[in-house]
Amino acid sequence: MRSTQSSTSQKETVEKSIMNMRELNLMKVRNLSLMELLHFFFKEIKERNISSLDKVLFIFDGLDECRFPLDFQNTVRLCDVTESASVHVLLINLIKGNLLPSALIWITSRPAAADQIPSECVHRVTEVRGFNDPQKEEYFRKRISDQSLRNRIITHLKSLRSLYIMCHIPVFCWISATVLERMSGEAESGEIPKTLTQMYTHFLIIQTNVIKKKYTKSRETDTEMVLKLGKLTFQQLMKGNLIFLRKT
């Protein structure tokens, strides 16, 4: 997690603009100005001139999912918020402070992608760590009220190193609790997950069943659904796409 530029006054007006990198990826072939980009995502800004605000906070979520080049050395310099350019040129010039130099930039990312940003553009780095072992158990104590069930789940996860290591990621603790708690209450739930693949497969089935009950009347079986998703994933991996969207 990185932030650039620092605030100088508590009384300054701050306009917050949150942009998801997956959404920006869909615009990588378009040329537009910074003002046009902001108007596209935030219709309410149209009536105001963003360059006249005291402070603007840009939050770019998931830099590691960026699918366009981040060349800080050779990208053309851009200082005019009304001048059109590709999205990656706008992003780089925002981070470097060429566009809206008084803006606050907050970027979330995995370490590898964040390291592409030159150190002179970074004023603060915050590392968000996962759970340590005591915190893992604390999570399950708070998440699962049934002590007997909770102890069985913790014991099961501790017995499987790959699963227990993954529990340092809070969302994986949530996935594990969801799957194992649900399976404990089902008479024909099958074998308790012992691998990451099994855990994710069970979670996928649970979430798909919830969606089908709420929004659709599909007769597609769990097996058919998982096989179709597996085929789609395999095809995209063969194309070198680790992250893909509907328009990929």
34 part of a folded domain:
yes
Six-digit token string for 212: 């089908």
| pLDDT on residue 3 | 40
- Of 10-19, 107-116, 236-245, which has the strongest mean pLDDT? 107-116
pLDDT of residue 31: 93
Instruction: Grade residue 17 by pLDDT with cuts at 50, 70 and 90.
Output: confident
Residue 189 lies in a domain: yes
Picking from 100, 121, 142, the residue at the C-terminal end of a domain is 121
**pTM above the 0.95 mark?**
no
CB atoms within 10 A of CB 166: 18
Q: What is the pLDDT of residue 14?
A: 60
Q: Are strands 55-61 and 14-20 parallel, antiparallel or unpaired?
A: parallel
Let me know if residue 247 belongs to a domain. no
The mean per-residue pLDDT over the stretch 159-173 comes to 96
pLDDT higher than 50, residue 214:
yes
pLDDT at position 42: 80
What range does the domain containing 72 cover?
A: 15-121
- Please report, rounded to a whole number, the percentage of residues in the chain having pLDDT higher than 90: 46
pLDDT of residue 10: 43
Within a domain: 6: no
Q: How many domains does the chain have?
A: 2
- Give 31 or 67, the one with higher predicted confidence: 31
- Beta strand 104-108 pairing with 31-32: unpaired
Q: Are residues 109 and 187 in the same domain?
A: no
Cα 127–131–135 angle (5° rounding)?
140
**Residues 35 and 107 placed together within one structural domain of the fold:** yes
Find residue 197's DSSP bridge partners: none
The answer for residues whose C-beta is within 8 angstroms of residue 114's C-beta and 6 or more apart is: 2, 63, 64, 107, 125
Q: How open is the CA angle 173-179-185, to the nearest 5 degrees?
A: 130
Longest CA pairwise span in the chain (Å): 64
Model pLDDT, residue 1: 35
* CA–CA gap between residue 73 and residue 41 (Å, rounded): 28
Rounded CA separation 190/149 (Å): 17
By three-state DSSP, how is residue 122 classified?
coil
Q: What is the pLDDT of residue 126?
A: 92
Residue-wise pLDDT tens digits, 87-143: 999 999 999 999 989 889 999 998 888 889 999 999 999 998 899 999 999 999 999
Domain end among 58, 88, 121? 121
- The C-alpha atoms of residue 93 and residue 95 are separated, in whole angstroms, by 5
The per-residue pLDDT for 50 is: 63
Would you place residue 236 in the very low, low, confident or very high pLDDT band (cuts 50, 70, 90)?
Answer: confident
**What pLDDT was estimated at residue 2?**
36
The per-residue pLDDT for 33 is 93
- Cα–Cα separations (whole angstroms), residue 122 to 3, 89, 119: 6, 18, 5
As a whole number, the mean pLDDT across the chain is 84
Q: What is the pLDDT at residue 122?
A: 92
